[in-house]
Amino acid sequence: MVNLKKGLAYLLIGALCVTQLYPLLWLLTYSLKTNEEILDGSFFALPKTPIWTNYSEAYKSGHYLQYLGNSVFVTTITMVCVIILSAMVAFAITRFRFKYGNVVMLIFLLGMMIPMQATLLPLMIIFKNVNILDTHLSLILPYIAFSTPISVFILSGFMRAIPKEIEESAVIDGASIYRIFRTIIIPISIPPVMTVCILTFITIWNEYILAATFISTEKLKTLPFGVYSFVSQYSVNYGNIGAFLVMGAAPVILIYFFLSDKITKGMVAGAVKG
């Protein structure tokens, strides 16, 4: 009886591995096949000879490095700004003698319920009027704004628990507020800062809608939008599309491969505290 239960459990667990991973592996084989192999529908078959040219052609006709560079640029700036800005807010509302700390927190919490796409249209009009539409700034500003609440929430949860004595002694030693923030609070808060980094990275790296709405210049497109335009442009060459999709997924998959424990922990922390 126990063995039967155990067997069933293993069966379920294994079946789920197949459903969750097989589509991704299938994409990998797909990206190495010729058009004929793809069209004849032998979905389990490996490619007879792997067509590596799919990758070189996709690389040449898409602007892979450019998209990748843009994504790295936008995501990095966003992450740095989110961490600095939200750490400052979290520090102020958890450690200062300040009446309105809770009000500030409430404002951020209220914003967490607002769906990003509801701001799409008004933001576009506003950005058009201040002439930053179709620049990286038009992505970075909303990305920072929408990542701030959850980050403030996570960081302030941590900072609240730092013992007061640390600051007391720092104040007695004559350290300024800025110095306390820079040399004491930030170094202690590295673990939640990592969580914030991971959450921000995953959301911003994959963001598609804002990028597709605000950016139209080829040179400025981020990776998800770039992948989308590539796919809609070359809709007949299946192998190339597969290759470009794999290349689009590769950076995140690589990072996930090395940091999966950290990433899963960070995502749980983000979910639970959010």
Partner 1 sequence: MNVLKVPGRTIAVFILPALLLYVCIVFIPIIVSFYTGTLEWDGIGDSKFVGLDNFKRMFFDDPVFWPSVKRTLLYAVASMIEIPICLFMAILLNRYVRKANKFVSIYFTPVILSVVILGQLWKTIYNPESMGGMLNGVLVWFGLDSWTHNWLTEPKFAMYSIYIVSLWQYFGYHLLIQFTGVQNIPSEIYEAAQIDGAEGFKADRYITLPMIVPIFKISIVLAFIGSLQAFDLVMVMTAGGPAHATDVISTHMYNSSFLSMQYGYGSAIASFLVVLCLIFTVLINFGLNKLERKYS
Tokens of 85: 């800005």
Tokens of 40: 């004849």
Site string for partner 1, 239-258 (x = CB under 8 A): --xx--x--xx--xx--x--
- Which residue number, 164 or 187, has a Cβ lying nearer to partner 1? 164
Distances in Å between the Cα of 52 and the Cα atoms of 15, 45, 174 are: 31, 17, 64
Applying CB under 8 A, the span of 13-21, 48-56, 72-80, 188-196 interacting with partner 1 comes to 13-21
Would you count residue 225 as binding partner 1 (CB under 8 A)? yes
CB of 52 vs partner 1, minimal distance in Å: 20
Asked if residues 192 and 83 have their Cβ atoms less than 8 Å apart, the reply is no
Near partner 1 in 59-118, by CB under 8 A: 85-86, 88-89, 91-98, 104, 107-108, 111, 113-118
Applying CB under 8 A, the span of 25-33, 52-60, 62-70, 188-196 interacting with partner 1 comes to 25-33
Which residue's entry shows tokens 């500003």? 141
Would you count residue 4 as binding partner 1 (CB under 8 A)? no
Would you count residue 140 as binding partner 1 (CB under 8 A)? no
Interface with partner 1 (CB under 8 A), residue from 64, 158, 209, 240: 209
d(CA 167, CA 173): 10
Helix (H, G, I), strand (E, B) or coil at 148: helix
Would you count residue 25 as binding partner 1 (CB under 8 A)? no
Would you count residue 126 as binding partner 1 (CB under 8 A)? yes
Near partner 1 in 150-189, by CB under 8 A: 152, 164, 167-168, 171, 177, 180-181
Closest to 205 measured CA to CA, from 244, 152, 148, 248: 248
Please give the full DSSP string across 22-60, using - where no structure is assigned.
HHHHHHHHHTTS-HHHHHTT-TTPPPSS--THHHHHHHH
How many chain residues touch partner 1 (CB under 8 A)? Answer: 96
